[in-house]
Amino acid sequence: KAGVTQTPRYLIKTRGQQVTLSCSPISGHRSVSWYQQTPGQGLQFLFEYFSETQRNKGNFPGRFSGRQFSNSRSEMNVSTLELGDSALYLCASSPGQVYNEQFFGPGTRLTVL
């Protein structure tokens, strides 16, 4: 099976812009979670989607949003970018029922100038 894929791998934006990141889960997985990784804050949970519904949400401002499509692919959007949004954004997928291991993608490195 192909692993979790994330596009693009690298992105450079300027303050005030918005950005959309994409995640394709492992085939058959219905749950997609997003995490932000920064040197200062470490790995922090953003949100999780299951069958197109947001099931869980972390403590991030409303500028961070996401969605999931019927094929389980997920997108994450950040509006009005700030310098502090520079980070590695990781996506993880799992089957999503009872406990399942989360499989991580390689991440998207976002740099905000």
Partner 1 sequence: AQSVTQLDSQVPVFEEAPVELRCNYSSSVSVYLFWYVQYPNQGLQLLLKYLSGSTLVKGINGFEAEFNKSQTSFHLRKPSVHISDTAEYFCAVSEPNFGNEKLTFGTGTRLTIIP
Q: Which residues are near partner 1 by CB under 8 A? A: 4, 31, 33, 35, 42-45, 48, 50, 55-56, 58, 90, 92, 94-107
Residue 78 CB, nearest approach to partner 1 (Å): 19
CA atoms within 13 A on the CB side of 96: 21
Map 86-100 to HEC letters: CEEEEEEEECCCCCC
Residue 45 CB, nearest approach to partner 1 (Å): 5
**Residue 17 or 43 with smaller CB distance to partner 1:** 43
